[in-house]
Amino acid sequence: MTFGITLILLSIIAVPSLLLSKKPNAKELLDKIEPYQGWIGIIFCFYGVWGGIIFSILNLGWITTFPIWWVTLLAGSLVQAVLGFMLGFSLINKFVLSKNEAAKEKAVALREKLAPKQGKLGIVGLFVGAWMIVASILFF
């Protein structure tokens, strides 16, 4: 359930235009969060990588016992890792990639590819996060 809640929160941060169209006073809250957006993105990126790649691979046995939950966890964590990377890109670029020009260029190219899809991925994250909450109640 924690993965689902955190994915929904991250998706709300990633899709500010959708949130602003529904609640006009949300701009104040988003302005307060904006200075911390990079750090939030980095934390969620690592949290998504841990849950999506490492945790799912360590628990491959769940495919036979909880296949729907395993796929849900993997999908949600991958969306979370990508959204976290997109939001935390400026800090990742500043602290991690600043010394290696080749890695920096590859990261910039990846970011340019993913940037137009951030809004759509945020909406997908909202639905996947909601499904993760429902699935955690149904299957556990």
Q: Whole-prediction pTM value?
A: 0.81
Instruction: Report the number of distinct structural domains present in the chain.
Output: 1
d(CA 126, CA 31): 21
The Cα 112–Cα 20 span in angstroms is 24
- Angle in degrees, 0-180, between the axes of helices 118-139 and 67-87, rounded to the nearest 10: 150
DSSP state of 99: T
Note the pLDDT of residue 80.
Answer: 92
State the 10-residue block means of pLDDT for the chain, 140 residues long: 86 72 68 80 89 83 87 89 86 77 82 80 92 87
Residues in the chain: 140
Here the tokens at position 136 are 């955690």
Place of tokens 């691979």: 57
Range of the domain at 122: 1-139
